[in-house]
Amino acid sequence: MAETKEKSLSDEKPKPRVRPIVRLGIFLISHSFLVSVVCCTAGVLALFLLPVLAKNTYISENALMPGSASPMLSNQHVSDGNRLVKDLTNPNSKSSETGIESHKIIAQYMLDLGAEVSFHKFHPQMNQFHPLHFFSSPVSGKIQENYSCSSYGINTVGIIRAPRGDGKEAIVLVTPYNALKSGFGEALSLGIAYSVFSLLTQVTWLAKDIIWLVADSQYGEYAAVAAWLREYQTPKFSSLSTPNAEMCPDVNNLFELKGHSISGSKFSNSFRRAGTMAAALVLKVRDQNEQFEDTISIYAEASNGQMPNLDLINVVNYLAVHRQGLRVNVEKLWPLLNSSWLKSLGEIFESLAKVAKSLYPKWKFGIPATEYVEGTATLASSLYYQALGVPTGPHGAFRDYQVDAITLEISPKFSLDKVWRNDILLRGGRLIEGVIRSVNNLLEKFHQSFFLYLLTSPSKFVSVGVYMIAFALLIASLPMVAASLYVDANSSSNCSKGDSSTPSAITDTDEHSIAIRSWRWLNSAKLVFIVHLWGAIVSLLPYFISQIPDCSPTTSFMIWVLLSILSLLTLNSVLASPLACAKATQEKEWALVKSVTISLVFIGLGLMSVINFATAEIGALLMVPMCLLARPLKLDVRAGTLRSFCRLICNLVLGHIAFPPAAFFLLKGMLDGFGNANVGDFWMWVESLWAWNSATYLFIGMVQLPCWVLCVSILFHTC
């Protein structure tokens, strides 16, 4: 008897042990609602905590050594800059309709210093939408036809060869200047640049060539810099004076300049080049006076959220504050500074920090409420401009060629009379000198510090390792909710199909249910594919609408909407599944559609976070709550509970806010007021996105808009 019992025990196979990671996955999927609530709440809370978690900036590259040497810019160099300002503001320099005299004056000043001087003649290029331009090089754009002599822009370029260099590296200094409509601020920026340029022709420590580009900004600051960079990086090997030379006598006068007798100085008709660009500075001076003190504003955002190396901003901030006594400013979303709820939130965080410090004195957590409000406004501005994907200045043209560049705009406190003009020339010149001297010390390109960061002030930043936590928490629940919806939809169908009395009926029912489940999943995936294909078509429609002549923005937007609706109806009628599902199989069809939609939203947000994090973060704030809460309105109405009623209200609100035009007008109303809103503004905003090849445009058309359509279809699903 005992032997039989032992034999039966030995015949039993041990049950396989479930791995801990599998148990965790099953637990998360079975509690997906609780997990999604916790993750979304934690993600939003982590986003509001970013100003508190911001760290002080520091210079990572020891070779920069900002402020280690005394400034060499003297009053003599300032007087040289003043002479150029006086000559440029002289009415005689603006007598020509093309501003030729101003360019000749600047070129002659450069020649007198012994620099190599050349002119770069360019014509403006039209930024038109073209689908393939999103994936092409920066050399794009359509050249305007029917040129005239006045349609050409002329950049003046001066190059100083470094006495200690080998000509393989260069530093670029850019000063935008419109000879036809120049203000005193532009002339003063040229005076600052010239005072630094005159100093650099005399120093012996220079190891990198210096390029001074006076960009002709009559067609836009960015256009002039981008045209020069295209020629610098991709030469065309054509003579400067050949095109339309016989038709433009004023332009030909440019080439009559002759090199001065100073050693090595000469003027060339050909395009001059130096070495690989190590960094670039764009210098501007505002005519408008600052209210409190002399201020320098830093603009760093380039296309698709690209930022320069943080060390470049840190060097400017250190020299401006600790050496020249300037107040450094970065852009803020000013409406947030007066937000009462944001102040209350800052006070809550400040109180929590005091409690935490009383419990553990070494824990340095929290900042004052006023600092939190300013940090949040700066952080929101950094997110906003990075998400737009549009450069905030001509420095953006350099980032297209992987050159670290920023725009510096000086705003003086007092009117620019002779006394304060000399002060601005001296302090601004010494600031530029210090930055150039620090970059000159580098033996390689900027690489030590961060390229992915968000600023909360000129001296505080949030690194990629911190701000990605908020984004990861927001989207972490999406795959779990998608898996839970898929499991629930299939389990409910199994239960409904298993009520048969005979074994043969059970077998037939199981086989039939498996086939139906397969087709149901494919139908849901097919629906999601159709809507995303429609999103790609909607993204391409503006290319054809922009070809319509004399079409106003409002009309273009209405045509876009009508064609989008027509294309959606056409795709649905042509590619929709001809197989009709039974009523029992339609009960959970919306759950499968939601499961596939959430999966693709997770993939789209993940890919976008690699291209432009700011766009992915804002998109997650709009799309994740809408995707998680999407549920047929009929089911909530039938339930009649408080929870279902709250969910119904949230779905209606999120359905309106997540619609791209509605989100645009809501943001525009918060920033500029709702009284100035116009339907055509959305078309003009979209035009600016595709003109700058912003990936945000593709995200809106191919991720956000299809997601919104699918969620709306779930809300109005006929259960």
User: Pick from 281, 280, 269: which is nearest to 117 by CA?
Assistant: 269
Q: Which amino acid is at 453?
A: Y
Domain spans in the chain, listed from the N-terminal domain onward = 62-127+138-331+392-443, 519-715
The CATH T-level fold of domain 62-127+138-331+392-443 is: Aminopeptidase (3.40.630)
SS3 annotation, 496-534? HHCCCCCHHHHHHHHHHHHHHHHHHHHHHHHHHHHHHHH
Instruction: Name the band, by pLDDT with cuts 50, 70 and 90, for residue 392.
Output: very high
Residue 536 half-sphere exposure toward CB, CA atoms < 13 A:
7
pLDDT of residue 441: 92
pLDDT of residue 567: 92
Find the DSSP H helices in 212-339: 221-233, 249-253, 310-322
As a whole number, the mean pLDDT across the chain is 83
Q: How far apart are CA 215 and CA 190, in angstroms?
A: 11
- pLDDT above 70 (res 314): yes
Tell me which range, 49-63, 131-145, 244-258, 475-489, is most confidently predicted by mean pLDDT: 49-63
Residue 524 half-sphere exposure toward CB, CA atoms < 13 A:
27
Q: Which amino acid is at 15?
A: K
Q: How far apart are CA 309 and CA 402, in angstroms?
A: 10
pLDDT of residue 236: 65
Q: Enter the tokens of residue 125.
A: 């290029």
Q: At what angle do helices 503-545 and 589-611 cross, to 10 degrees?
A: 40
- pLDDT above 70 (res 719): no
- pLDDT tens digit string along 530-569? 999 999 999 999 888 888 888 888 999 999 999 999 999 8
pLDDT of residue 415: 64
- pLDDT above 80 (res 329): yes
Give the 3-state secondary structure of residue 296.
strand
User: Pick from 266, 270, 209, 267: which is nearest to 236 by CA?
Assistant: 270
Q: Enter the tokens of residue 45.
A: 């809370």
Q: Enter the tokens of residue 581.
A: 């599902």
3-state helix, strand, coil in the chain (%, to 5): 60, 10, 30
Give the 3-state secondary structure of residue 158.
strand
93's CB contacts (< 8 A; 6+ apart) are 87, 101, 102, 105, 179
- pLDDT tens digit string along 335-364? 888 888 999 999 999 998 888 888 887 777
Parallel, antiparallel or unpaired: strands 460-463 and 453-457 = antiparallel
Q: Enter the tokens of residue 704.
A: 């956000």
Instruction: Name the band, by pLDDT with cuts 50, 70 and 90, for residue 92.
Output: low
- pLDDT above 90 (res 19): no
Q: How far apart are CA 106 and CA 88, in angstroms?
A: 8
Taking the CB of residue 409, how many other CB atoms lie within 10 A of it? 18
Q: How far apart are CA 667 and CA 659, in angstroms?
A: 12
Question: Do residues 697 and 612 lie in contact, with contact meaning Cβ atoms separated by under 8 Å?
Answer: no
Rounded to 5 degrees, what are φ and ψ at 120?
A: -115, 110
Parallel, antiparallel or unpaired: strands 209-216 and 169-177 = parallel
Beta partners for 297?
329, 409
Question: Do residues 703 and 616 lie in contact, with contact meaning Cβ atoms separated by under 8 Å?
Answer: no
